[in-house]
Structure 1
């Protein structure tokens, strides 16, 4: 039971901060917040994403490329230009690494307005940090695993962020239904998206990229949006009005 609680907790906490901080804040600026809370969210993203911490600047630049060139040859992770999901993940990782190392010039087209914390960026992207988190996950499994099959879940902890991204980028542009004609292949993979916290409403998101609520029809529930509304009411963040 401890292993399953740990796995589910890591899955949803890592995914929450990826969609809330790197995606909705760093990439789209769906809300504003003060420097104190930005640093709190930054630190929590690092802690809960752990071994697969995603540099917010690199994430924002790559994601803006994805929206600008959705499902074209310039899209950094369209599933329609790769033979399988593994090849897409490798190409995505390479593009992301180039942004982390600042060896690409896309910033000229997709400038600024993303959070940066050089100390956390350096630590979170370091091999040492990833290895230490990986060692922590492994120790937890050694101590608490009661069945051999539980260790099959362990590798997912090491690459939790890329796994989330692969599911969203592959399924969200291949499988499901469309509410809007976006001139791309984005789909709403499922009308009930609790597993990916609303990220699989890709068709809706590509139609309204600055809307904090990814659900657009009455039955499409985005689990993250009520959390954002609560933080807005508490004046921790301020939601922007979507254009």
Structure 2
């Protein structure tokens, strides 16, 4: 039971800060917040993503490229140009690394307006940090695992961030239904969207990329949006008025 709680806790907390901080804030600026809270969210993203920490700047630039070139040859991770999800993940990792190391100059329209914290981003992206987190996961399993098969979950912990991205980018552009004609192949992958905290409402999101609510129809529930509204009410963040 302890292992299951730990796994689910890591899964959803890592995913929450990926969609809330990296996607909705860093990439799209769906809300504003005080610098103190921005730094707090930045630290929490590092802690909960752990060994698979994703640099907000690199994430934001690559995601903006994805929207601009959705499902074309310039899309950094469209599933329609790769034979399988592993090839897509490999290519995505190369593209991400170029932005992380700043060896690729992005188009001017993709630059700026994303959180940067040189010290934390350097630490979070270092092999030392990733190895330490990996060892902590292993130590936790050695202490609390009661069955051998539980250790098979450790690799998922280690690559949690990229794994979430792979699920969203592959399934969200291949399987499901479309509410809107976006001139791409984005889909809403119901009912698995709830397990991905609304991230699989890709068709809705590509139609309204700056809308904080990824759901569009009455039965499409984005579980992160009510949390954002609560944070807005508590004045931790300020959502764009058009999307309250």
Q: Which range, TM-score by smaller chain?
A: over 0.9
- CA deviation vs aligned residue, 1:50-106 (integer Å, no higher than 9, x gap): 000000000000000000000000000000000000000000000000000001111
Equivalent residues of 2:85, 2:166 under 8 A apart: yes
Q: TM-score, normalised by structure 2?
A: 0.98
Hey, what does 2:74 align to over in structure 1? 74
Q: Distance in 2 between matches of 1:7 and 1:193?
A: 19
Q: What secondary structure does 1:215 align onto? A: coil
Q: Distance in 1 between matches of 2:150 and 2:135?
A: 16
Q: What secondary structure does 1:183 align onto? A: coil
Using the TM superposition, give the Cα deviation of residue 194 of structure 1 relative to its aligned residue in structure 2, in angstroms.
1.6
Using the TM superposition, give the Cα deviation of residue 242 of structure 1 relative to its aligned residue in structure 2, in angstroms.
4.5
Q: Distance in 1 between matches of 2:113 and 2:46?
A: 20
Using the TM superposition, give the Cα deviation of residue 10 of structure 1 relative to its aligned residue in structure 2, in angstroms.
0.2
Unaligned stretches of 5+ in structure 2?
Answer: none
Hey, what does 1:46 align to over in structure 2? 46
Q: What secondary structure does 2:40 align onto? A: helix
Worse overlay, 49-58 or 192-201: 192-201
Q: Distance in 1 between matches of 2:134 and 2:241?
A: 40
Trace 1:13-162 onto structure 2 (pairs within 5 A).
13-162=13-162
Using the TM superposition, give the Cα deviation of residue 18 of structure 1 relative to its aligned residue in structure 2, in angstroms.
0.2
Q: Distance in 1 between matches of 2:107 and 2:6?
A: 37
Hey, what does 1:228 align to over in structure 2? 228
Unaligned stretches of 5+ in structure 1?
Answer: none
Hey, what does 2:196 align to over in structure 1? 196
Using the TM superposition, give the Cα deviation of residue 150 of structure 1 relative to its aligned residue in structure 2, in angstroms.
0.5
Q: TM-score, normalised by structure 1?
A: 0.98
Equivalent residues of 2:172, 2:200 under 8 A apart: yes
- CA deviation vs aligned residue, 1:95-118 (integer Å, no higher than 9, x gap): 000000001111523120000011
In structure 2, the CA distance between the partners of 1:98 and 1:112, relative to structure 1 (3 Å rule), is: same
- CA deviation vs aligned residue, 1:191-235 (integer Å, no higher than 9, x gap): 562200000000000000000000000000000000000000000
Using the TM superposition, give the Cα deviation of residue 8 of structure 1 relative to its aligned residue in structure 2, in angstroms.
0.2
Q: Distance in 2 between matches of 1:117 and 1:107?
A: 21
- CA deviation vs aligned residue, 1:5-64 (integer Å, no higher than 9, x gap): 100000000000000000000000000001000000000000000000000000000000
Hey, what does 1:213 align to over in structure 2? 213
Equivalent residues of 2:204, 2:215 under 8 A apart: yes
> How many residue pairs align between the two structures?
243
Hey, what does 2:171 align to over in structure 1? 171
Using the TM superposition, give the Cα deviation of residue 237 of structure 1 relative to its aligned residue in structure 2, in angstroms.
0.2
Q: What secondary structure does 1:195 align onto? A: helix
Q: Distance in 2 between matches of 1:17 and 1:241?
A: 22
Q: What secondary structure does 2:112 align onto? A: coil
Q: Distance in 1 between matches of 2:49 and 2:241?
A: 29
